[in-house]
Amino acid sequence: MSLLFSNYTLGNLALSNRIVIAPMCQYSADEGKATSWHEIHLGHLALSGAGLLIVEATAVTPEGRISPQDLGLWDDATEQALAAVVATVKTHSPIALGIQLAHAGRKASTHAPWFGGGNISPERGGWQTLAPSAIPFAQTDSRPQAMTLAQIEALKADFAAAAKRAERIGFNLIEIHAAHGYLLHQFLSPLANQRQDQYGGSLENRMRLTLEVVQAVRQAVSPGFPVGVRISGSDWVEGGWDIEQSVKLAQALKSLDCDYIHVSSGGLSTQQKIPVGPGYQVSFARRIKAETGLNTIAVGLITDAEQAETIVAAGDADMIALARAVLYDPRWPWHAAAKLGAKINGPRQYWRSEPHNVKNLFNKD
């Protein structure tokens, strides 16, 4: 029996297997509103057979967008547009659907990657970015504004409001983005956070905002509704955020009834030196799981079925997440199930695609 294809539960959400499709920005929204691209993109990934599909980083405020084309969930118009996509996906797929709520902080107001990805200054049509301290991500970027306490309070309310909208339109899970150098990660890391108040300095102070956002979201949604957090296990820069601090954050998250932690790395500093290789971030998930017992998702260059099965079977993580690998091969879970002798959820319209050498691949109940 494949452990990768065994059932798993997060909060009140039952998953058919332990494969997660990680959030991947599409830079294809219209003033924060989901478009027909999202319907096509999420629709075909929803037929993948994965247990959980998490929608891309979705800004809780307009200024929290990475780019002007980022998805958002901050008002009735963005809610209605995304609700239509969710309804279509759920009509044709049983997949559990999550959403990653985010604020880009000082990494906001940039071009889409295919336009170079650089910072757009307010003078060139961008907007004033926010951060824990007035330190830009890159030397050529516009200087962010250090957030006031009033802006921090408003941010927590924005996350809570977006969480309510997400549950209302049918999402099954919320992931809070505190990784990849975006706003909550900026508060966590001493490289970006040089505040002198209760949100800066000590580890306890730097963790405060992330924990308060988790509490605000938890209070905004129904009891048992799963809430998780994406973190960077390390900045990969000396003197920055690291795995020891990540373990302490995970312990604090567990005490707040956080349902899982999704562990990647990097994104905060242009000085990072990342030793990229197969499963290069799994060790972070392994240590957090071992030291805290928090449900853990491993991600990062996990590309084949046997590798994923080994990670879960060894207890290094409870679930594995796929990002670019599933864009390249949207039927990755089908192929993994065939290799591992497991069954997969697939649409009945595709049942006859089963190859001659693969029998009984699909659940047909």
Rounded to two decimals, the pTM is 0.97
According to the model, what pLDDT value does residue 63 have?
Answer: 98
According to the model, what pLDDT value does residue 365 have?
Answer: 77
**182 carries an active-site annotation:** yes
According to the model, what pLDDT value does residue 57 have?
Answer: 98
Domain ranges of the chain: 8-353
Decide: 26 and 38 in contact? Cβ < 8 Å.
Answer: yes
What class has domain 8-353? Answer: alpha beta
Distance between CA atoms of residues 39 and 20, nearest Å: 19
According to the model, what pLDDT value does residue 341 have?
Answer: 95
According to the model, what pLDDT value does residue 229 have?
Answer: 98
According to the model, what pLDDT value does residue 343 have?
Answer: 95
According to the model, what pLDDT value does residue 294 have?
Answer: 98
> Tens-digit pLDDT profile for the chain (365 aa)?
899 999 999 999 999 999 999 999 999 999 999 999 999 999 999 999 999 999 999 999 999 999 999 999 999 999 999 999 999 999 999 999 999 999 999 999 999 999 999 999 999 999 999 999 999 999 999 999 999 999 999 999 999 999 999 999 999 999 999 999 999 999 999 999 999 999 999 999 999 999 999 999 999 999 999 999 999 999 999 999 999 999 999 999 999 999 999 999 999 999 999 999 999 999 999 999 999 999 999 999 999 999 999 999 999 999 999 999 999 999 999 999 999 999 999 999 999 999 989 989 999 87
According to the model, what pLDDT value does residue 359 have?
Answer: 86
According to the model, what pLDDT value does residue 134 have?
Answer: 98
Decide: 12 and 224 in contact? Cβ < 8 Å.
Answer: yes
* Residue of 8, 27, 182, 199 marked catalytic: 182
